[in-house]
Amino acid sequence: MLLLLNTYPLMVSEDLVFRSKETTLQSNVSVIVYSLSGLDQLTEENVAAAMAVVEEASLSRVLVTNGMGRILYDTRETGGAIGEYGLYTEIVQALLGNDAFTCTYGRGAFRSRASSPVLYRNQIIGAVYVYEYDTEQAALLAGLQGNLLRLSAVIALVVAVLSLLLSKVLTRKIGLLLTAIRQVRAGAYSHRADIRGTDEIAQIAQEFNSLTDRLQTTESARRRFVSDASHELKTPLAAIRLLTDSILQTEDIDPAITREFVSDIGQEAERLARITEDLLRLTQLDSGAMGKPELVDVLPVLEQVMRMMNLVAQEKGVELTYDAAEGCTVLAAKDEIHQVIYNLVDNAVKYSAGGAVQVSLRWHSEQVVLEVADNGAGIPEEDLPRIFQRFYRVDKARSRAAGGTGLGLSIVQDTMEKRGGTVEAANRPGGGAVFTARWPYARGGELS
């Protein structure tokens, strides 16, 4: 832009000066040619006589030549060229019968030359050549050039300062963001990028911060999970170790006691197997490796779970009943639904010994709803939001005694969410807990 600003106006002005020079010089030449017209032949005397009445003050030099190019008249007093041959291009052009004009600009002046032939009865009898050396217009043009240069310098300075400031602000923000990224990469998950504003970098920083929030939450959940899992695995392992030590270190141990200890070891091993199975299931859910969804009728699955659980319920003196509607179809995998119903019913039976458990299955407003209600002790209100967390138990000892791992409800929740469903827990007004699982209803044609 600056280059254009410094060249274009100058080029235009120069061109304008050239044109005006051409007009004035050509008219000067015409006046001289007119004053020489009527002469049948040019000589130094008659040209000098004719030129005496011509006003040529603004011109630096006027030459008149005869048809051969010999100079007959020269306004230059010292070093005049009368008698010599004028072989300027313009004179040659004029002697060939053409009007000529050239103008150059440089070294602080416009140098313009114009020429025309002098004719007598259509014969070229000579040439008129004028030369003008103009420093006035050149000074004006140089002034304009100087002003443009100064203006350009100011613009360049302002642009440079502004870009410097802008790049400083930008690089400072990017630097802050980079530091934050490096800190978080190094493990400082609580570090945040403190960048204010509404520009793109501030927006990236906000996104980065919320990403780090999630990372921090996930990381602390992961740590808690690993520590809880190792703790859960340690307990049965310690029990096994203790029991085997007792058997090995007691001399003459009573075979009945040995059998009792070995059966305890078996129970602990079973517990370990249950925990690892649940952990595996959760890992699968975390990795998103779900079976391909198919259209499943929930009712047969519910009936299967009920048949399985009836015996357990009877043992615990729990009355297990269900009430189900037909046509409850969802998009999921059969064994997932089995697991969800099983875990909820198993919990209800486990935590309501001697009571009653009612299961209902309905579909309405685009949802399939499974409700498992019991009349046990229920869940303390403050624990309600946490019972779906991994390894969370309201009463640890009771859960362990009942063979629980603390992972059942997490598995239920993860499984439901993976299929676009939900699960929630509440206490019943009359006592006991109620769990409600909702799947999106899938309208199916013929079921396979």
Q: What are phi and psi of 374, to 5 degrees?
A: -130, 175
Of 100 and 275, the one with the shorter C-beta distance to ligand ADP is: 275
Q: CA-to-CA distance for 405 and 234, rounded, in angstroms? A: 13
Residue 440, beta-bridge partner list: 367
Nearest to residue 275, comparing CAs of 407, 396, 389? 407
Nearest alpha carbon to residue 364 among 294, 303, 440, 293: 440
Least Å distance, CB 279 to ligand ADP, is 13
CB of 425 to ligand ADP, least distance (A): 7
CB of 219 to ligand ADP, least distance (A): 23
Q: Which residue of 86, 126, 236, 376 would you call a contact of ligand ADP, by CB under 6 A?
A: 376
Cβ 278 to ligand ADP, closest distance in Å? 8
Q: Which is nearer to ligand ADP, 174 or 426 (CB)?
A: 426
Near ligand ADP by CB under 6 A, which window of 46-54, 142-150, 322-330, 342-350?
342-350
Closest C-alpha to 402, from 348, 351, 354 = 351
User: Count of residues for the chain?
Assistant: 448
Kindly write out the interface string for residues 345-364 of this chain, putting x where it contacts ligand ADP by CB under 6 A and - elsewhere: --xx--x-------------
First to last CA, the chain: 75
Nearer residue to ligand ADP within complex by CB, 95 or 340: 340
Q: What's the closest the beta carbon of residue 347 comes to ligand ADP, in angstroms?
A: 3
**Which of residues 118 and 345 has its CB atom nearest to ligand ADP in the complex?**
345
User: Which range binds ligand ADP by CB under 6 A, 163-171, 226-234, 311-319, 401-409?
Assistant: 401-409
Contact status, residue 5 vs residue 149, Cβ threshold 8 Å? no
Name the CA radius of gyration of the chain, rounded.
54
Q: Which is nearer to ligand ADP, 129 or 391 (CB)?
A: 391
Query: Is residue 324 within 8 Å of residue 361, measured between CB atoms?
Result: yes
Question: Shortest Cβ contact with ligand ADP: which residue?
Answer: 404
Q: What is the DSSP string of 152-197?
A: HHHHHHHHHHHHHHHHHHHHHHHHHHHHHHHHHHTT-TT------S
Q: Residue 235: which of 275, 188, 189 has the closest Cα? A: 275
Among 393, 415, 421, 441, binds ligand ADP (CB under 6 A): 393
List 109, 338, 395, 436, residue binding ligand ADP (CB under 6 A): 395
**Binding status of residue 409 toward ligand ADP by CB under 6 A:** yes
User: Which residues of this protein are in contact with ligand ADP, per CB under 6 A?
Assistant: 343, 347-348, 351, 374, 376, 379, 387, 392-395, 399, 404-410, 433
